[in-house]
Structure 1
Amino acid sequence: MTQVFSQPRKRYLPPSTFWSLRQGFPQWLRLFLSAIALALPLLLWALISYSGLTTPVFLPTPTAVIDAGIRMFTEEDLHLDIIASSLRVAAGFLVAAFVGVPIGILMGTFYSMESLFSPIVGTVRYMPVVAFVPLIIIWVGLGEAAKVLIIFLGVVLYNAMMVADAVKFIPDEMLNVAYTLGSNRREVLFRVIVPATFPSVLDTLRVNISGAWNYLVIAELIASQNGLGYRIVQSQRFLQTDKVLFAIAIIGVIGLLIDYGLKLLSKASTPWADQTRSY
């Protein structure tokens, strides 16, 4: 007697907007989820602080933080600290971009450059930037150059590594087609590799600029008289938690504006790229 084994029926998941895989997503739902993500921590903060479960030194109320921020703007010239910190981050990050991005393109394109730079980049990026602070003070002193150098060192190697990885993802077929059409090495580099990598370069800069702001506090520990990092450290010494939280919030707002600005730049300058990437 012959047994017939039937194939089990394949179970298909029902269509879902919320759990769609790289498909269309309504703008209203995107904004709604973003609002929830911002509102829940604020609501939890308000419940804990206003209920009196903690002391104001440990967690001040949102009202106290806003009042402290108003006083910092009106009485302590916080806008000058914002300008000073922004200029330091911009200087260190731009130099890191001008150095790190070309090194990354060279590492990803030429095996010779990868062999030359990879041992240095791969080793130094594991060394904490804080450990270099005493040497930086000896090398360049206590001025603005030291602060910019700390931010530069904290970002430049990550720019190089991420850009190099992006170059390696360019299909070899694209390069072979360029050679078949008569291009030489220089033309392949500047007319194929660089344009193909440009969207990833913008993504890399958008991700790593957060690291520049993270190193700002370390940079402004060096004989600073202004800056958001300096303001945070000074407020912490006097247990002014409300001022610390407001300064941190200012950095977060600046970072959010920069992030959206770079997203708009990427969308405008690379319309052919996949704009659904998000980090």
Structure 2
Amino acid sequence: MTAPPIRPTPKQYLQPSVFWGIRQDFPKRLALLLIGLALGVPLLLWAIASYGGWVRPIFLPTPTAVVQAGIALVQEGLVRDVLASCGRVLGGFVLAAAVGVPMGILMGTFSSMESLFAPLVGTVRYMPVVAFVPLIVIWVGLGEWSKVLIIFLGVVLYNAIMVADAVKFIPNEMINVAYTLGAKRRDVLFRVIMPAVFPSVLDTLRVNISGAWNYLVIAELVAAQSGLGFRIVQSQRFLQTDKVLFCIAIIGGIGLLLDYTLRAISRRLTPWAD
């Protein structure tokens, strides 16, 4: 008795999908539509809840009240506050990049540097920056350096960890080929590792600049007389929710502008990264 013949199963091809395509081109019109929905739906819900009287104005003011509060803040010198906050964030973030990026490259490249820095980084990054504020005031006083130092401490270790992880993802084959071709350790570091990790460094800075803005309010609690964080805390004391929301919106707008700017710079400097 012979066994029945085995029939080959028909091949099943993957059906094309515009919306769920993995790493495929997406229509620009549909992308703009989704962006509009992502921004428009929360604004619509906010307008319905505030204009409809479902939420008290002290908890959620209307968009009109927020715009009017913003106009009043501009007349009171909001531009000066924006410039002050941008200067503090820029100072702390540049200092964190200058220290954290080289530290991360060293930790990811040399096991000796990882043994040296990893225990310190792994311990300190779990310590809240707020706990260091009294010490920072004692060390550097109440001036601008205290605010810059708070932002620096909040970002620098994350820069180091993320860059070190990016270096470790560089394939060993690239390094071995460089050694085979006669490269020295210095050549491998500067001509193999650093160019390979450069796109990840830009992505790390783009992600962590949001952390710098998050620590801005904490930094401007230290005897600040200007800045967006100072305005937020001052408005909170007098229950001026409309001014608080406008300052938060300004920070979000600046962050969005910085994010798109850094993305454009990354695409321009590292076209091979995609």
**Under a length normalisation based on structure 2, what TM-score does the superposition of the two structures give?**
0.97
Task: Quote the Cα distance in structure 2 between the aligned partners of 1:99 and 1:251.
Answer: 25
CA-CA distance at 1:3 after TM superposition: 4.9
Task: Quote the Cα distance in structure 2 between the aligned partners of 1:9 and 1:162.
Answer: 46
Q: What aligned pairs does 1:155-234 form with structure 2 within 5 A after superposition?
A: 155-234=155-234
Give the structure 2 partner of residue 34 of structure 1. Answer: 35
Total equivalences in the alignment: 273
Comparing 9-18 and 254-263, the one that deviates more: 9-18
CA-CA distance at 1:149 after TM superposition: 0.4
1:227 partner amino acid? G
Give the structure 2 partner of residue 113 of structure 1. Answer: 113
CA-CA distance at 1:24 after TM superposition: 1.3
- Give a deviation string over 1:51-83, Cα, whole Å, max 9, x none: 001111010000100010011102x10000000
CA-CA distance at 1:192 after TM superposition: 0.7
Is 2:24 aligned against 1:23? Answer: yes
Give the structure 1 partner of residue 263 of structure 2. Answer: 263
- Give a deviation string over 1:9-50, Cα, whole Å, max 9, x none: 565442101100011112222222111101111111001000
Secondary structure at the aligned position of 2:215 is classed as helix
Q: What aligned pairs does 1:2-17 form with structure 2 within 5 A after superposition?
A: 2-3=3-4, 6=7, 11-17=12-18
Unmatched runs of 5 consecutive residues or more in structure 1: 275-279
Give the structure 2 partner of residue 46 of structure 1. Answer: 47
- Give a deviation string over 1:182-239, Cα, whole Å, max 9, x none: 1100011001100110000000000000000000000000001000000000000000
Secondary structure at the aligned position of 1:186 is classed as helix
Secondary structure at the aligned position of 2:22 is classed as coil
Task: Quote the Cα distance in structure 1 between the aligned partners of 2:220 and 2:160.
Answer: 25
Give the structure 2 partner of residue 71 of structure 1. Answer: 72
Task: Quote the Cα distance in structure 2 between the aligned partners of 1:225 and 1:28.
Answer: 46
Q: What aligned pairs does 1:90-169 form with structure 2 within 5 A after superposition?
A: 90-169=90-169
Query: Please, what is the CA RMSD of the aligned residues?
Result: 1.2
Give the structure 2 partner of residue 277 of structure 1. Answer: none
1:201 partner amino acid? V
**Under a length normalisation based on structure 1, what TM-score does the superposition of the two structures give?**
0.95
Task: Quote the Cα distance in structure 2 between the aligned partners of 1:47 and 1:8.
Answer: 55
Task: Quote the Cα distance in structure 2 between the aligned partners of 1:151 and 1:10.
Answer: 57
2:169 partner amino acid? F
Task: Quote the Cα distance in structure 2 between the aligned partners of 1:52 and 1:7.
Answer: 66
Task: Quote the Cα distance in structure 2 between the aligned partners of 1:13 and 1:264.
Answer: 34
Is 2:235 aligned against 1:235? Answer: yes
Task: Quote the Cα distance in structure 1 between the aligned partners of 2:25 and 2:252.
Answer: 29
CA-CA distance at 1:6 after TM superposition: 5.0
2:59 partner amino acid? F
CA-CA distance at 1:154 after TM superposition: 0.2
Task: Quote the Cα distance in structure 2 between the aligned partners of 1:79 and 1:214.
Answer: 20
The structure 1 segments of at least 4 consecutive aligned residues displaced by more than 4 Å after TM superposition are 3-13
Identity percentage of aligned residues:
72
Task: Quote the Cα distance in structure 1 between the aligned partners of 2:27 and 2:230.
Answer: 42
- Give a deviation string over 1:90-127, Cα, whole Å, max 9, x none: 00000000000000000000000001000000111011
Unmatched runs of 5 consecutive residues or more in structure 2: none
2:132 partner amino acid? F
